[in-house]
Every structure is written in structure tokens, then in C-alpha cells.
Structure 1
Amino acid sequence: MDDAAPPIRLDLRGVKCPLNWAHAKVRLEQMSRGQTLELILDDLRGVRDIPRAAEAEGYVVLESTALDGGAFRLRIEK
């Protein structure tokens, strides 16, 4: 996997659910299968709901991690 493309990063701090999912979904739809989207969020509702919504749409949630400063990182593979 040395030739794997780096993740596409989307900083959604300050964006509340459901708008943060709408931004993520638009970006996921533009990506190629196998690419990874990395989201940075600070909305707890989004951290809870985005993984469920992504899996319901057929995407794979690879990671959900708390970061310093109250933010979270979600990694979703198309």
C-alpha cells in the first residue's frame, strides 16, 4: 500500500450536524472508490451520526478518534 493516495482532508470544525454530513457526502460522491476522506469535527452529534450515515450509504468507517482540543478525526473509505 505504499502507492496508496493520501486521504482527502476536510476540516469541518464549527459546522453543525447535519451540514457537516452534507459537506462530507458531497466530497465522498466526488471521490473514486478506494479513496479515503479524513474529517476533522468538533460537533458531537456529527461524530455520533456521520459514521452511521456513512455506513448506511455503503461507505466504510475506518477510524473515529478523539483529538486534543475537543476535536475528532473520522476516516471514511469510499
Structure 2
Amino acid sequence: MLHEFAIAAPEAARTLDITAETCPMTFVRTRLALDRMPSGDVLLVMTRGEEPRRNLPRTAQEQGHAVLRQEEGEDGITRLWLRKG
């Protein structure tokens, strides 16, 4: 399980706001964004809801990307920093 880290959030090359999307579109949109980025770049994904909060980090890791940080905001938005593998 990923939790908020004490270190500062990494600087993202791109931000993807998918707070209005539901699964499986959350993963589809995230994967498309990562596919368009160079390896090593960081994508900040903003999402809402339990299912994407659980599934996006796991699926990103299965696809070879690194989960750098996951943060649950008081606003109900989960912020997920991914480094493209």
C-alpha cells in the first residue's frame, strides 16, 4: 500500500487531471499520457475515487513505470506521481 511520503513531491513534466473519469478510462488516459512522454519523465495524475486510487499505481508498476509518490488530498483528490519506465 502506498502512502503520503515525507519527502517533497517530484517536479512533474506533465499533469493529467482525470478527476471526472471512471475506471477503466482512468487507466486508458494515464497510459496514453505516459506513452507520449519520454522515458524518465514524471507524470502527475490527479484522480478521484477508491477504484483508481487502488488500481492506477498497481497497473502503472505492472507496465514498468515507477510510483514515486501517492498523496490523498483533503479535497478528495488523489495525486499520483509516476516516472515513465
Calculate the TM-score normalised by the size of structure 2: 0.82
Partner in structure 1 of residue 77 of structure 2: 71
Structure 1 runs (4+) deviating above 4 angstroms are: none
Is structure 2 residue 52 aligned with structure 1 residue 52?
no
More helix by share: 1
Q: How big is the alpha-carbon RMSD for the aligned residues of Structure 1 and Structure 2?
A: 1.2
Where structure 2 has 5 or more consecutive residues not aligned to the other structure, the ranges are 1-10
Partner in structure 2 of residue 42 of structure 1: 48
Calculate the TM-score normalised by the size of structure 1: 0.89
Paired residue secondary structure (1:16)? coil
Look up the equivalent residue of 2:50 and give its one-letter code. Answer: L
The alignment of Structure 1 onto Structure 2 pairs a total of residues equal to: 74
Percent identity over the alignment is 26
Is structure 2 residue 32 aligned with structure 1 residue 32?
no
Contact 1:39 1:74 in 2 (8 A): yes
Where structure 1 has 5 or more consecutive residues not aligned to the other structure, the ranges are none
- Residues 20-41 of structure 1: per-residue CA shift (max 9 Å, x gap): 1100000101100110000111
